[in-house]
Structure 1
Amino acid sequence: MDSDLQDPSKVPDVLAVVNDPRSVYTAIETRFCCRAFLPKSVERATIERILRACSWSPSGSNTQPWKVYVVQGASRDALVSKVCAAHDALRDDPSLASVYREDYPYYPSEWKSPYIERRRATGFGLYDALGIRKGDRDRMHAQLQRNYKFFDAPVGIFFTNEKAMAQGALVDTAMFVQSVMIAARGEGLHTCVQAAWNPFSSIVLPHIGATEERLVCTLSLGYADAGAVVNEYRPQREDPSVFTRWLEN
């Protein structure tokens, strides 16, 4: 290979080689929903590097429908305070559920097998790891509210689409978010992708200046607390034989 092709910036994509393929698999396999972060800041240059690489994520007809809002510092803290207050108010007055509604249905209105069993197993497994017993509403509420504190991560990222976009934009943005999570692993960072913020979009969107958009999901980003028990929990993953069909004849 000549010297020009050894410079990554000059290598045509079709000829580019991943020198350490295992590192790609490792980034995917070590991604998990981190629910405890260290109080260690993440440099803006690092976040910009991640987002720049992820701008190459695929999208239908190259529409690139994702919009990204990064909250840190005082802006982060103010939003945490507002949404935690709303979450407490919703606990005290369940009728507020009509006010705090998500922009699109993330979960089905009626569950079926095997999805409901997987969801329940994940919830029970997480609470068991935390020592939260069934019926302990106070601790369950407090744990759910950890979502609205970004699990103490210093960086919160909100992903939105313009409301005029169709459902395909959700798929495109999901691929972008996955790219961000994998790229974060390359920087030694961890993430937690969250739909829990979606019902509070009426608070989030004005705060970030995105009132004409819909909230797709949220991402907590930072350095994982390796000593936190909650970060030891991993939900079970199905073997590919469960979800794959091979059609060869």
Structure 2
Amino acid sequence: MPDSTTSTAGPAAASVLPAGAAGAVEAALHARRSVRAFLPQPVEPALVERLLAAAARAPSGTNMQPWRVHVVTGAARDRLCDALVEAHLAGQGEADPDYAYYPPQFFEPYLSRRRKLGWDLYGLLGIGKGDKERMRQQHGRNFRFFDAPVGMIMTIDRRLEIGSWLDYGMFLQGLATAAVAHGLGTCPQAAFAEHHRTIRRLLPIGEGEVVVCGMALGYPDWNAPENRLVTERVPVADFTTFHTD
């Protein structure tokens, strides 16, 4: 597990939250959701940098800090999105992912959870069972970052092991939670790993880096039906065992 020690000493009080902050942190954690529709309102570059700096406080084994982030906005974002949508519509990428995100065959309880998420989302969007074309179009919206003005492509050095991937997850969680505190929304997007070759053509990402995921960042459009989706979580008792003796 990540080493909680630090190499630079600082004031002890720096790790103590101000009064009342615990509730705000918990509220941000509970409020975070995957946002799939954004307003065109831009996000100030200084705020993006601030969020990344906060997320970078995530723990990592021996302070390795394995995360690498490519932020795309403006014309750079549009060029990337256009190329990715074209590749998606051409059916490219799905057979050549940069890594296996999911198991080759789903099993319970994960299969049921996955199916419920899909049908809950499609139900809000009015996509019926068997409407493969609309499902394909909705999946393709990933590659426009769901219209978010800021897109991020996350990569990691291919030589690193699973421990660094665990650290990366904590970085992503920190980024998503910090965004909520500023009225922003995010959507972590594993779909980008399918199209890593297209991404490499447009961004300076070598074969020595794995495309982990993308992340959309922006101000949520709360009038969009897909943003009414609130996913369920199993109770703590279902995944936790307390040992006292």
Deviations 1:70-127 (A, max 9, x none): 000011000111110111110xxx8x644xx222210001211100000001001110
- Other-structure match for 1:64: 65
- Corresponding residue number in structure 2 for 1:223: 219
User: How much has 1:20 moved relative to structure 2?
Assistant: 2.3
Aligned residues: 235
1:11 Cα deviation (Å)? 5.8
After alignment, is 197-206 or 36-45 more displaced? Answer: 197-206
TM-score normalised by structure 1 residue count: 0.90
Task: Decide whether the 8 Å contact of 1:205 with 1:215 is kept in 2.
Answer: no
Residue of structure 1 aligned with 2:144, choices 128, 142, 149: 149
Residue 45 of structure 1 is matched in structure 2 by: 46
The answer to whether the Cα contact below 8 Å between 1:132 and 1:139 also exists between their aligned partners in 2 is yes
Question: Would the aligned equivalents of 1:126 and 1:233 in 2 still touch at CA under 8 Å?
Answer: yes
Instruction: State the alpha-carbon separation in 2 of the partners of residues 15 and 29 from structure 1.
Output: 21
Aligned to 2:5: none
SS at match of 1:122: helix
**1:35 aligned residue:** 36
Alignment partners' CA distance in 2, 1:193 and 1:88: 21
1:239 aligns with 2:235: yes
Q: Which amino acid aligns with 2:68?
A: K
Q: Which residue of 1 aligns with 2:188?
A: 193
Partner Cα distance (1:226, 1:119) in 2: 24
Match of 1:3 in 2: none
1:16 Cα offset (Å): 4.6
- Runs of 4+ with deviation above 2 angstroms: 9-20
In the TM superposition, residue 17 of structure 1 has moved relative to its aligned partner by 3.6
2:62 partner amino acid: S
Give 2:125's aligned residue: 130
Q: In the aligned structure 2, how far is the partner of 1:159 from the partner of 1:148?
A: 14
**Residues 162 and 206 of structure 1: is their aligned pair in 2 closer, same or farther, counting only changes over 3 Å?**
farther
Q: Secondary structure at the match of 2:156?
A: strand
Corresponding residue to 1:207 among 202, 207, 227: 202
Q: Give a deviation string over 1:192-249, Cα, whole Å, max 9, x none.
A: 1110111101111332201121011111000000111110011211111111111111
Output the CA distance in 2 between the equivalents of 1:184 and 1:97.
Answer: 30
Deviation at 1:10, TM superposition (A): 5.7
- Residue 98 of structure 2: SS of its match in structure 1? coil
Distance in 2 separating the partners of 1:172 and 1:31: 19
Equivalent AA in structure 1 for residue 64 of structure 2: T
Look up the match of 1:176. Answer: 171
Amino acid at match of 1:226: W
The gaps in structure 2 that reach 5 residues or longer are: 1-9
Counterpart in the other structure of 2:87? 86
TM-score (norm 2): 0.91
Structure 1: unaligned runs, 5 residues or longer:
1-8
Q: Contact conserved, 1:40 with 1:154, CA < 8 A, in 2? A: yes
| Conservation of the 8 A alpha-carbon contact between 2:74 and 2:149 | yes
Mapped contact 1:159–1:173 kept (Cα < 8 A): no
User: Is 2:108 the partner of 1:107?
Assistant: no
Give me the CA root mean square deviation: 1.6
> Shift of the alpha carbon at 1:13?
3.1
Partner secondary structure for residue 191 of structure 2: coil
